[in-house]
């Protein structure tokens, strides 16, 4: 079933373009709106972002000169198009680990003479000396990865002596859930050891979301953890010295003219990159698409039914931070001021992957059972599919709960969709059949590397995805009918780890 108005229906609204005769024939072959988004304009913006990275130590990472220059470029271009962008600042904590020490008090048992460990990112700091108490560990693990659930339930801590260090095994739930339960049980620090199966035996490393933990959290290998479990009356000293500073970062928001503000379509792309490289595909590509979309909607004088707002998010690569500050308030509660008028969110993160494919976020949950499918998200997916069908272009689904800025609106029950051309995953045999390129090579062979330059991009794929995005966004902007509803709100703790795009470790378990 097609519920989608076709690009021609939009073109008809534009004074400069052809309209169908009653028999459905075009009176001329003026381009559709989507065709106004051209490869050359997109690549010009990428050239500018490349020059910005080149002038700033080769990157555009959060809080860097390259990021600030990227913000200036987008703002200037929007202003030149007659728009009024707003740079919204937000605070973010920057965590720097200075020193860390872990030692056994007294004579160390065999295997614990010299403890190799990691400090979890966002670990609390301080010096703790206390006995260790193992929390429902399974040694050896009796099943595959994520078969043990040490510390996942508060009941695991029944009888836990407050003030002790909790010794917890990796598996099943997120690190942060284990740490939260340990804090609630009065633990003075947490040692997380690897689960023990093949591939899960090294020193475990991780990151804690939800801000800085109140107690030190370190990771050790399975072997070290097992030795700690087996040692009697073990006391540890854990000393973590970290500096936490509050800094200010930026999102850019622009409201396109017109449309009912009570029915807003929000389109987002993260503007920041990683430290390793210029971030031209990830995510100069999504950023430049949004910019060109804004310019062309202005140029073509599109007068939408629904309001269109565009957002360039900061600090996505640090854990989806800029977008989280839009969707949540200062207390971490859903920001209803921004959410109540939001009919749909579309995300564009990596559109020009060198060995890429055309991926559409799976809104109806038919391919990825992420627990966030809805009628609204299904409609967006269907609109993308209808567009690509008409163009004769193959697609494949990608999880809606991808690790990108769309994670928050999907969680918050907003109809969500988007496009993606692939990151570090190798191209499969069937993808090579459908999309060309090289089987076995990553969709983006330069993902998060110094070589994510303009030479890393696939301009043809980029234009295809950008035009698909433009077509669906304008169709949504012109939509008269009420928008189908989204999913019910979910909490971050009751969902599986997001898949795909960015390999944030925030959700690892
Ligand atoms: Zn990205």
Residues 236 and 309 in one domain: no
Residue 97 is predicted with a pLDDT of 87
In this structure, is residue 150 part of a structural domain? yes
Q: How far is the CA of 23 from the centre of ligand 1 (A)?
A: 45
* Secondary structure (DSSP) of 46-97: HHHHHHHHHTTTT--BTTSHHHHHHHHHHHHHHHHTT---EEEEEEEEEEEE
Chain mean pLDDT for the chain:
89
Give the mean pLDDT of 278-306.
97
pLDDT score of 319 more than 90: no
In this structure, is residue 13 part of a structural domain? no
Q: How far is the CA of 65 from the centre of ligand 1 (A)?
A: 19
Last residue of a domain, one of 197, 213, 245: 245
Residues 186 and 267 in one domain: no
CATH code of the domain covering residue 159? 3.50.30.30
**Given 121, 292, 316, 464, the catalytic residue:** 316
Residue 491 is predicted with a pLDDT of 73
Distance CA(59)–CA(166), nearest Å, equals 40
Q: What angle do CA 268, 333, 311 make, to 5 degrees?
A: 15
Q: How far is the CA of 280 from the centre of ligand 1 (A)?
A: 10
- Write out the residue range of the structural domain in which residue 239 sits: 94-245
Residue 30 is predicted with a pLDDT of 75
Q: How far is the CA of 315 from the centre of ligand 1 (A)?
A: 10
Residues 310 and 434 in one domain: yes
Q: How far is the CA of 285 from the centre of ligand 1 (A)?
A: 9
* DSSP classification of residue 459: H
Residues 320 and 261 in one domain: yes
In this structure, is residue 2 part of a structural domain? no
The 10s digit of each residue's pLDDT in 442-483 is: 999 999 999 999 999 999 999 999 999 999 999 999 999 999
Q: How far is the CA of 272 from the centre of ligand 1 (A)?
A: 8
Residues 237 and 270 in one domain: no
Give the mean pLDDT of 318-333.
88
Give the mean pLDDT of 117-127.
91
Q: How far is the CA of 71 from the centre of ligand 1 (A)?
A: 16
Residue 8 is predicted with a pLDDT of 36
First-last CA distance in the chain: 40
Q: How far is the CA of 274 from the centre of ligand 1 (A)?
A: 9
In this structure, is residue 17 part of a structural domain? no
- Residue 195: strand, helix, or coil: coil
The answer to whether residues 240 and 126 touch, using CB atoms and an 8 Å cutoff, is yes
CB-based contacts of 459: which residues, under 8 Å, 6+ apart? 39, 42, 43, 352
Q: How far is the CA of 26 from the centre of ligand 1 (A)?
A: 39
Preceding omega of 342 cis (within 30 degrees of 0)? no
The answer to whether residues 158 and 192 touch, using CB atoms and an 8 Å cutoff, is no
Residues 371 and 468 in one domain: yes
Alpha helices in 103-221 (DSSP H): 175-184
Residue 1 is predicted with a pLDDT of 34
Residues 342 and 482 in one domain: yes
pLDDT score of 261 more than 60: yes
Last residue of a domain, one of 191, 215, 245: 245
In this structure, is residue 371 part of a structural domain? yes
Give the number of domains in the chain: 2
The answer to whether residues 415 and 363 touch, using CB atoms and an 8 Å cutoff, is yes
Residues 357 and 266 in one domain: yes
Residues 98 and 221 in one domain: yes
**What angle, rounded to 10 degrees, do the helices at 39-54 and 459-478 form?**
110
Percent of the chain with pLDDT over 70: 90
Residue 276 is predicted with a pLDDT of 93
In this structure, is residue 474 part of a structural domain? yes
Q: How far is the CA of 424 from the centre of ligand 1 (A)?
A: 11
Residues 309 and 400 in one domain: yes
Residues 297 and 377 in one domain: yes
Give the mean pLDDT of 30-39.
92
Q: Report residue 487's pLDDT band, with 50, 70 and 90 as the boundaries.
A: confident
pLDDT score of 504 more than 70: no
The 10s digit of each residue's pLDDT in 370-383 is: 888 999 999 999 99
CATH code of the domain covering residue 306? 3.40.630.10
pLDDT score of 163 more than 50: yes
The 10s digit of each residue's pLDDT in 37-79 is: 999 999 999 999 999 999 999 999 998 999 999 999 999 999 9
List C-alpha distances in Å: 160 to 34, 57, 133, 188, 481. Answer: 61, 50, 7, 11, 57
Residues 77 and 98 in one domain: no
More confident residue, 213 or 217: 217
Last residue of a domain, one of 192, 218, 245: 245
Q: How far is the CA of 29 from the centre of ligand 1 (A)?
A: 36
The 10s digit of each residue's pLDDT in 193-208 is: 999 999 899 999 887 7
Give the mean pLDDT of 76-100.
93
Give the mean pLDDT of 241-262.
93
What number of residues does the chain have? 509
Give the mean pLDDT of 181-203.
95
For this structure, is 316 an active site residue?
yes
Q: Which pTM was predicted?
A: 0.78
The answer to whether residues 336 and 89 touch, using CB atoms and an 8 Å cutoff, is no
Residue 495 is predicted with a pLDDT of 59
In this structure, is residue 320 part of a structural domain? yes
In this structure, is residue 89 part of a structural domain? no
Q: Give the distance from CA 40 to its chain's centroid.
A: 28
């Amino acid at each position: 079933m097609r519920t989608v108005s076709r690009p021609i229906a939009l073109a008809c609204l534009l004074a400069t373009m052809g309209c169908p005769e009653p028999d459905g024939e075009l009176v001329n072959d003026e381009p559709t709106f989507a065709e106004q988004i051209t490869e050359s304009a997109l690549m010009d913006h990428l050239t500018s972002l490349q020059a910005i990275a080149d002038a700033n130590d080769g990157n555009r990472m959060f809080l860097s000169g390259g990021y600030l220059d990227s913000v200036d470029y987008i703002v200037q271009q929007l202003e030149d198009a007659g728009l009024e962008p707003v740079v919204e600042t937000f605070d973010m904590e920057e965590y720097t680990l200075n020193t860390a020490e872990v030692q056994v008090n007294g004579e160390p048992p065999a295997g614990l003479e010299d403890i190799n460990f990691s400090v979890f990112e966002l670990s609390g700091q301080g010096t703790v000396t206390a006995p260790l108490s193992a929390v429902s560990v399974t040694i050896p693990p009796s099943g595959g990865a994520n078969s043990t659930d040490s510390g996942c339930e508060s009941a695991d801590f029944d009888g836990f002596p407050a003030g002790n260090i909790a010794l917890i095994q990796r598996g099943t739930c997120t690190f942060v859930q284990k740490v939260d339960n340990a804090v609630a049980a009065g633990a003075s620090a947490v040692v997380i050891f690897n689960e023990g199966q093949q591939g899960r035996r090294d020193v475990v490393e991780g990151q804690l979301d939800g801000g800085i933990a109140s107690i030190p959290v370190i990771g050790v290998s399975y072997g070290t953890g097992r030795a700690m479990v087996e040692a009697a009356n073990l006391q540890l000293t854990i000393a973590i010295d970290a500096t936490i500073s509050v800094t200010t970062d930026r999102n850019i928001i622009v409201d396109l003219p017109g449309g009912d503000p009570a029915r807003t379509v929000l389109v987002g792309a993260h503007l920041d990159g990683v430290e390793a490289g210029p971030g031209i595909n990830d995510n100069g590509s999504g950023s430049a698409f949004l910019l060109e979309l804004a310019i062309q909607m202005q140029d073509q004088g599109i007068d939408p039914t629904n309001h269109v707002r565009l957002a360039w998010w900061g600090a996505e690569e640090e854990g989806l931070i800029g977008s989280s500050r839009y969707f949540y308030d200062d207390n971490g509660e859903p920001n209803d001021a921004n959410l109540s008028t939001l009919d749909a969110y579309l995300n564009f993160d990596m559109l020009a992957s060198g060995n890429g494919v055309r991926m559409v976020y799976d809104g109806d949950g038919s391919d990825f059972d992420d627990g966030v499918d809805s009628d609204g998200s299904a409609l967006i997916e269907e609109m993308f599919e209808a567009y690509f069908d008409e163009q004769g272009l193959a697609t494949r689904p990608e999880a809606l709960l991808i690790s990108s800025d769309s994670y928050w609106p999907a969680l918050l029950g907003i109809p969500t969709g988007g496009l993606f051309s692939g990151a570090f995953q190798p191209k499969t045999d069937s993808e090579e059949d459908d999309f060309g390129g090289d089987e076995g090579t990553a969709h983006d062979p330069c993902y998060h590397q110094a070589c994510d330059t303009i030479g890393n991009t696939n301009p043809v794929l980029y234009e295809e995805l950008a035009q698909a995005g433009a077509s669906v966004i304008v169709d949504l902007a012109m939509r008269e009918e009420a928008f189908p509803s989204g999913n019910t709100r979910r909490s971050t703790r009751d969902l599986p780890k997001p898949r795909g795009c960015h390999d944030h470790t925030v959700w690892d378990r």
